Each structure stands twice: as C-alpha cells, then as structure tokens.
Amino acid sequence: MEGIRGDEIHFDQFQGKKILVVNVASECGYTPQYQQLQELYDQFHKNLVVIGFPCNDFGRQEPGSNEAIEAFCSLQYRITFPMAAKISIREKPHPIYAWLCSKEQNGVMDTEVKWNFHKFLIDEKGQLIRSLPSSVSPFDEEILDFLANNN
C-alpha cells in the first residue's frame, strides 16, 4: 500500500506482529483517539503495529491532503506509527478494506465500517480476529486481551 509520504508499506514487513488497522480522520469527535493509539503503539511496539488509514468517507472529516494529514498528526499527536495515504472505504474500497470487510475474502466475517476510528485486529499470522466500532477505546479490555494473548 502507499504510505502517507508516497513510500511503499508492505504488510509482510509486519509478519510476527499483531496489527491494529484504524480508519482515521482529523476533524472527528473520535480524533483524540490518535493520542491513545500512539500510546498503545509506544507501549506494545515490539509486538504490535498500528496502521492509520486516513479516509474522508465518513462525515467528510478528513478533507486534507496527505501532506496536511501528516503535518496534523505530527504536530498535534506526535504520531510515529505507519500512516497510509488517504483512501476510500465506501466507493471503490481500498484493497485492505475490501479484504477486512468481506468474509468471502478474509474467511472470518463480513463487516461494515460505519464511521471514523473503526478498528480491526489482525493476529501475527495475518488472520482477521475482530472488528470493533469507533466508540471502542484503543485501551479497551478487548484490545488489551488481544495483545496479551500469545497466538
């Protein structure tokens, strides 16, 4: 996938780590979750990768360019976890979201992303484990239990 700086991010580089995929937006009521996502990444970085996917599909709350999004994340939240280039989820979904949301592709579940900061948990083997709505905190027990569980 394309990174926010135009670089390439390959999921295979995260092999052996758990992955938390989150669609993010700079102008959302859930935007403060960026801080918790960064704290989670800092605390569990040896075993976890958080990947942010900026998306303007939900309430048009991510209108900026990749450069503006990166600047916002750096200045406001000091984000160091990988950020993808801005994507679409609803119309012509990015391939990762096509996979995450389709049981036919992921073999686990059908899921609909309804808002910004929806979370997906992927285990060390690349298997989709869970889908969590925006209201679930990055430090929710479900996420912490997932991180504590050694698969």
H helices within the chain, ranges in order? 33-44, 66-77, 95-101, 103-106, 141-148
Assess whether 73 carries a catalytic annotation: no
The CA angle 143-144-146, to the nearest 5 degrees, is 65
> Residue 58 has what DSSP assignment?
T
Helix (H, G, I), strand (E, B) or coil at 87: strand
H helices within 45-136, ranges in order? 66-77, 95-101, 103-106
Write down the catalytic residue from 28, 55, 73, 101: 28
Tokens, residue 140: 């929710």
Active site residues: 28
